[in-house]
Each structure stands twice: as C-alpha cells, then as structure tokens.
Amino acid sequence: EFQLLFQGQTSPDSYADYPTYLLLEEGDIKAYVIFQRDFGRRTLRVKEFAGNRFLIRQMLTELLITMKKTSATIVMTPSDPLAGMMKQIPSQKTHLHASLKIVDFKGLMNDLNPYLNEKLGEESLEFVFEDFQDHFHIQWRNEVFSISNIFELNRLVFGPNQDLISQVTSRPFQNELKKIFPIPFVWVNNLNYQ
C-alpha cells in the first residue's frame, strides 16, 4: 500500500516533476521527502516530508547536489523539530490563510468548548466570541478585543499571533488569549482541502 501511495501521490505537470526520496537506515524506511522540481529553476520546493527529522536534515544537502539545485524551500510549523535544526538557515514566517478560512468563528469556538475548558477551566465561561460579517469580537470579563478582518482572525487562531495578542491592552486578557491561541491544529499549508 505504501508503494501505491507514492505512485499515486503526485500527478505530472507541464512545469515540474516530483522526485520522491525514501531515506533508509539499515534497510528500513525512516523518512521520506517529496520535492517539487520546477523545470529551468535552480531551487526546489519540499512538497511533503515525514519521518526522522535528523535524517532529513542530514540528507538535504546531498539531495540538492544529486538534483543539481542550489537551494530548497521547506514550509513547516515553527514547533517542528526540523525547524530547530535549521536555525542558522534564512527563514521567514508564513500563515495558513491560503489553506484555511474560518467561515463561522462563533460556531468554531462553540465546537472547541472541550478544548477551551481544558485550557482555561472555569475561565472559559467568561469568554464570548462573536462575528459580525468581517469584524470579530472576543470578550473576556468586561474587556473586548476586536479583529477587523479574516486574515487577522486566521493569524490569531492558527498563528503566528504574537503581534495581534500584544495589541490587547490588558496583560491578564493577553495571558488568557495565549493559553488558547494558536490552537494546536495540523499544519496544512498549501494542501487544498474542500
């Protein structure tokens, strides 16, 4: 089944191919990396990777040389262990807005009640979440934090959100928001889910 998955995972494009590398240790598959290799470009893009992060980091340079490319772009969550292994390499922050859109903020937060109770305990009852077209409000006790667009809301909920939370004037309110946001959601950057 694993081999069939790899054969069917990518479809041919006119602008790129998708080389897949299985990384082995003592004959066992420990990781894999799927690249997007654009024709005529000197850079690669890592489409998907999984497995032993140390092995992936160790093999990236060798894989670049094998494919005659000068650099690779890898999109990952900052908490991924691979990110910690690549601190000396230039990076930039991104967000999930291309992949996720919150359609019903109040409904989402209602569905997340068990998560809120786990993170906040009784304090979760003091939160009220509202959405009014393109404006979103989070009320905690007598304080209200307003967000003016869906892009900012996505950044608050899924991260990175430090700059948004720092806009809240009350330190206790900031601390409560940091307990719940960003929610621990699977990193789906550039995957197209319908």
- At residue 20, the 3 state secondary structure works out as strand
Nearest residue to 102 (alpha-carbon basis) of 69, 144, 141, 131: 131
Segments in the chain forming alpha helices (H): 2-9, 53-66, 81-85, 105-111, 113-120, 150-158, 162-165, 171-180
Contact 47, 36 (CB under 8 A): yes
> Which pLDDT belongs to residue 5?
65
Percent of the chain past pLDDT 70, that is, above it, reads 87
* Tokens read off for 6: 């790899």
Contact 179, 167 (CB under 8 A): no
Contact 96, 190 (CB under 8 A): no
- Tell me the CA end-to-end span of the chain in Å, nearest whole number: 25
* Tokens read off for 74: 């890898």
> Which pLDDT belongs to residue 192?
44
Contact 147, 133 (CB under 8 A): no
Q: Which residue numbers in the chain have pLDDT < 70?
A: 2-3, 5-12, 94-99, 187-194
DSSP string, 103-127: S-HHHHHHHTHHHHHHHHGGGGGGE
> Which pLDDT belongs to residue 154?
87
pTM of the model: 0.58
pLDDT tens for each residue of 65-80: 999 999 988 888 777 8
d(CA 17, CA 24): 22
